[in-house]
Chains A and B, each alone.
Chain A
Amino acid sequence: MDLYTIIFYFFAVITLGSACIVVFSRNIVRAAFALLFAFFGVAGIYIFLLADFIAVTQLLIYVGGIMVLILFGVMLTSHQINVDAKTGVIQTLPAILIAACIGAGLVWVFWITDWKANSQLPIVETTALKIGELLLTKYLLPFEIASMILLVALIGAAMIARREKKV
């Protein structure tokens, strides 16, 4: 049990525990803050996978952007904060079955496949330069389309959430 494994399990427990709180909590504000911790845990996992640029991008955009948006949404639309109970048992049981089947199937496939992974540590270097090169040479078209999508999303969201003037 070396330090690498211990810290990996620490981050994995943070991520999965926060996901449990998000899924099973009745208080929506508590679930929102647990999602925040889940994003932090996922950023830690990215550091383990030697993805430094992705980890920082995740922190900036997910924690700093999307979490703020979700908290805005939670605060603006819930006049009763404690009421989000799950629906009755009749609807929860098929959901548990489906989610358990999907989870078990995925984990089983991941366990028994021989992935031919090279697990020795590659040369650790910063990835930002290489990602930049890839974005501008091989993935140029998705890059431009992504910027168009962001523009359309910005205009669309601003237009949808506008307060209508009731005439």
Chain B
Amino acid sequence: MHFLVLSGLLFSFGIFAILTRRNAIMVLMGVELVLNAANINFVAFSRYVSTSLDGHVVAIFVIILAAAEAAIALAIILNIYQNFNTVNVDEINQLKD
């Protein structure tokens, strides 16, 4: 149950990072925190409540998807930086340059 509380706190930290940060890469870091919190939750349930290893398999899929999403997000951020010369999410407000 301590693991669940830890994952809940980590999740709220990640949400705060997503909501507050101005740099797009900091928002990506917040998303990674949220995904890790959910992963801890899955593995904790698989250890304490379930008898099979389903939570581990779901955690592996979450890690895979987080890697793919981080790669694409960084590619997009690099492209935005080449076009707008800033990665401030408040200033990227034009749909075509």
Residues of A within 8 A of B (CB): 8, 12, 15-16, 19-20, 22-23, 28, 31-32, 35, 38-39, 42, 45-46, 48-51, 53-54, 57-58, 61-62, 65-66, 69-70, 72-74, 76-78, 84-87, 91-92, 95-96, 98-100, 102-103, 106-107, 110-111, 115-119, 122, 127, 130-131, 134-135, 138-139, 142, 146, 149-150, 153-154, 156-158, 160-161, 163-164
Contacts and interface: CB of A to CB of B under 8 A. Distances in A.
B92 interface: no
A103 B77 contact: no
Residues of A contacting B: mostly: helix
A157 B26 contact: no
Interface residues of B, number: 65
Given A32-B29, A103-B9, A131-B53, 6 more contacts: A16-B13, A19-B14, A76-B78, A102-B12, A127-B56, A150-B68
A96 to B, nearest CB: 7
A61 B29 contact: no
A87 B22 contact: yes
Contact of B33 (A19, A28, A149): A19
B59 A51 contact: yes
Nearest to A74: B25
Residues of B contacting A: mostly: helix
Given A12-B6, A70-B25, A156-B75, A86 B81 contact: no
Interface in B11-65: 11-17, 19-23, 25-26, 28-30, 32-33, 36, 39-40, 43-44, 46-49, 52-54, 56-57, 59-61, 63-65
A27 to B, nearest CB: 11
A84 B15 contact: no
A31 B81 contact: no
Given A103-B9, A161-B79, A87 B20 contact: yes
B90 to A, nearest CB: 7
B19 A19 contact: no
